[in-house]
């Protein structure tokens, strides 16, 4: 079961406040929004309405019908105004009114929302909590303020459902070893809807074959379905994402490998970033800009990264081969290298947890990645005194060799930082030279999966 406790506690804290509230909750499709709401509404007086993408009159009829059903009224004798009055008087204790996918309402004007806000303003003796929910990242972050106009300032609190952390995945699958939890993380990205599909009794290979590569699988062609929720001209986006997955990360490389103009590439990258499919990586600022890259692009959506790396380039084989044959031909040999990036993200999470529990040799003020022209430092952390921790991560190698430490020290010099501690993370183990060095030099700290 996916863990929802922190978010439910946050909503409960807001609910306990004596005043009325208008709260916006949003997250990408599959974020588990509906499950969060369902858990939160238990034992509370509530009305839930999921807006449709239909006409104004159609929306009004659907809304009236659901209010009538909930409160045992005759829909033929109700108007929208009467429904809002019923909602305002619907409970002796603080009621919760949930309007899910409320962006569909604002496409046709703001009258509905104005009436909701009147409920909040008129609820003097009986406070009310109004939750406006959306599965559109682009709407919530780019269009909502303009669509709401002055009503936007009536919002008391906005909360974004984020992907769950690696720690939460470990808690979700307590029977699985850490290494396998990392595989789940590097494929599903911590999306609750995907994790509910994942079979905890089966291994990574079996889950990929059954749920991603099989036509009856719950995640078969999920990538295309997801992209279509917000984006048009899918052929252009598929082209950009395929090239990005193949290793072209700079704007000029994407321009050359897609054949699109720089202006066109920039527009489509902007759209992909707004939809949180892609992100631009800005190197950790160490004060040395001449040795750092100005910015590269990478996948932010983990599942789409997996799909465009391993499946999209071989779509013909996806339909020609059996799922088992496809896995062996195109996924088995490359999964370890693919997971290197996600291992470094998990290592960052590990350092943040260690910092929170005050178990690091230095308190962290900020953290990131230094992207250099001759190589990158996977983790750079800095404290308030501008003292640094530098880290290098290796997932797929049987043993992390002493050369990794030497490479990290070279990159630290190029970044022009004086690292007080050097962390080396390995998904397997370390060679004897590294172990000896760590025993002799307290600046060098080795971390493997047993420490996780």
> Helices 80-88 and 111-122 sit at what angle, rounded to 10 degrees?
30
Per-residue pLDDT of 370-393, as tens digits, reads 998 889 999 999 988 888 999 999
The neighbour count for residue 135, using CB atoms within 10 Å, is 20
Give me the helices (H) in 16-55, please: 33-41
Question: Which residue shows structure tokens 């074959």?
Answer: 209
C-alpha span between 175 and 325 (Å, rounded) = 28
As given in the structure block, the two tokens for residue 277 are 């499919």
Residues of the chain with pLDDT under 70: 1-6, 91, 124
- pTM, two decimals, is 0.91
pLDDT of residue 393: 96
pLDDT of residue 1: 47
Cβ atoms 343, 400 nearer than 8 A? no
pLDDT of residue 307: 98
Q: Which of 322, 316, 106, 300 is nearest to 215 (CA)?
A: 322
As given in the structure block, the two tokens for residue 318 are 């996806």
Fill in the DSSP letter of residue 210: I
Domains annotated on the chain, with CATH: 5-160 (3.40.50.300), 202-333 (1.10.10.10), 338-451 (3.40.1350.10)
Q: Dihedral sign, CA of 340, 344, 347, 349?
A: negative
Burial of 358 (0-12, 13-18, 19+ CB in 10 A): exposed
C-alpha span between 400 and 421 (Å, rounded) = 18
Per-residue pLDDT of 299-332, as tens digits, reads 999 999 999 999 999 999 999 999 999 999 999 9
pLDDT of residue 448: 93
């Amino acid at each position: 079961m996916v863990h929802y406790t922190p978010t439910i506690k946050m909503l409960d804290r807001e609910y306990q406040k004596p005043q009325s509230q208008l709260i916006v909750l949003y997250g990408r499709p599959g974020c588990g929004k509906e499950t969060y709401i369902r858990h939160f509404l238990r034992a509370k007086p509530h009305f839930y309405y999921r807006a449709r993408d239909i006409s104004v009159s159609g929306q009004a009829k659907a809304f009236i019908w659901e209010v009538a059903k909930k409160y045992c009224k005759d829909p033929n004798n109700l108007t929208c105004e009467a429904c809002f009055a019923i909602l305002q008087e619907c409970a002796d204790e603080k009621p919760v009114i949930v309007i899910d996918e409320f962006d569909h309402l604002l496409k046709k004007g703001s009258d509905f929302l104005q009436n909701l806000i009147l409920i909040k303003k008129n609820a003097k003796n009986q406070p009310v909590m109004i939750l406006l929910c959306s599965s559109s990242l682009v709407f919530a972050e780019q269009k909502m303020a303009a669509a709401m106009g002055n009503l936007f300032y009536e919002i008391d609190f906005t909360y974004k459902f984020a992907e769950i952390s690696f720690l939460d995945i470990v808690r979700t699958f307590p029977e699985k070893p850490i290494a396998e939890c990392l595989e789940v993380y590097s494929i599903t990205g911590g999306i609750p809807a995907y994790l509910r599909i994942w079979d905890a009794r089966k291994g990574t290979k079996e889950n990929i074959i059954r749920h991603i590569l099989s036509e009856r699988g719950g995640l078969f062609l999920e990538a295309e379905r997801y992209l279509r929720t917000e984006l048009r001209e899918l052929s252009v986006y598929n082209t950009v994402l395929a090239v990005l997955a193949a290793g072209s990360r700079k704007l000029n490389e994407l321009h050359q490998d897609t054949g699109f103009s720089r202006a066109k590439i920039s527009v489509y990258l902007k759209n992909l970033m707004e939809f949180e499919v892609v992100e631009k990586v800005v190197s950790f600022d160490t004060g040395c800009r001449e040795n750092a890259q100005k910015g590269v692009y990478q996948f932010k959506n983990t599942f789409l990264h997996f799909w465009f790396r391993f499946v999209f380039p071989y779509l013909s084989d996806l339909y020609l081969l059996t799922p088992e044959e496809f896995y062996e031909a195109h996924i088995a040999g490359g999964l370890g290298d693919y997971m290197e990036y996600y291992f470094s993200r998990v290592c960052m999470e590990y350092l943040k947890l260690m910092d929170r529990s005050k178990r690091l040799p230095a308190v962290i003020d900020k953290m990131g990645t230094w992207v250099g022209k001759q190589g990158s430092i996977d983790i750079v952390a800095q404290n308030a005194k501008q003292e640094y921790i530098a880290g290098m991560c290796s997932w797929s190698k049987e043993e992390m060799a002493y050369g990794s430490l030497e490479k990290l020290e070279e990159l630290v010099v190029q970044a022009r930082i004086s690292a007080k501690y050097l962390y080396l993370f390995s998904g397997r183990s370390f060679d004897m030279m590294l172990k000896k060095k760590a025993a002799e030099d307290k600046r060098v700290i080795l971390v493997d999966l047993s420490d996780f």
